[in-house]
Amino acid sequence: MPTDISDPPALSGKFRREMRAKAHHLKPVVTLGAEPSESALAELDRALSDHELIKVRVNIADRKARDRTIDDIATSARALDVQRIGRIAVLYRANPDAKPELSNTPRQS
């Protein structure tokens, strides 16, 4: 499992499948509009630090603008875009110091 959050590596197909399966039951924890506010981006960063794997709802009707926004927030948050379905994006950022009770990803003992 990747652990360096400064430069996210590309996800392997197997790891991406595992993350999609884990994200299936999750609800979006952050909702963003056309111009994400600083507080929304701070909440996104906090959610990624705590949970590592999150869903984000992007309320933009135009598909190209929505894709650009998702790319921008993933890049600025140093997160990997695991999956996109409609207005929902699944983002992953490894955090080696995450609390196991908050994290949505499996922990190896």
> Cα(42)–Cα(98) distance, rounded to whole angstroms?
17
In a domain, 103, yes or no: no
In a domain, 3, yes or no: no
> Considering its fold, how many domains does the chain have in total?
1
Give the H or E element holding residue 31.
strand 28-32
pLDDT at 99 (0 to 100): 78
Residue range of the domain that includes 62: 13-92
Side by side, the strands of the sheet bearing 88-92 are 28-32, 53-58, 88-92, 80-85
Residue 58 has pLDDT above 50, yes or no: yes
Mean pLDDT computed over every residue of the chain: 85
For 26, residues 6+ apart whose C-beta sits below 8 A from its C-beta are: 53, 54, 55, 90, 104
CATH number, position 27: 3.30.110.60
Quick: pLDDT tens for 79-105.
Answer: 999 999 999 999 999 888 877 777 777
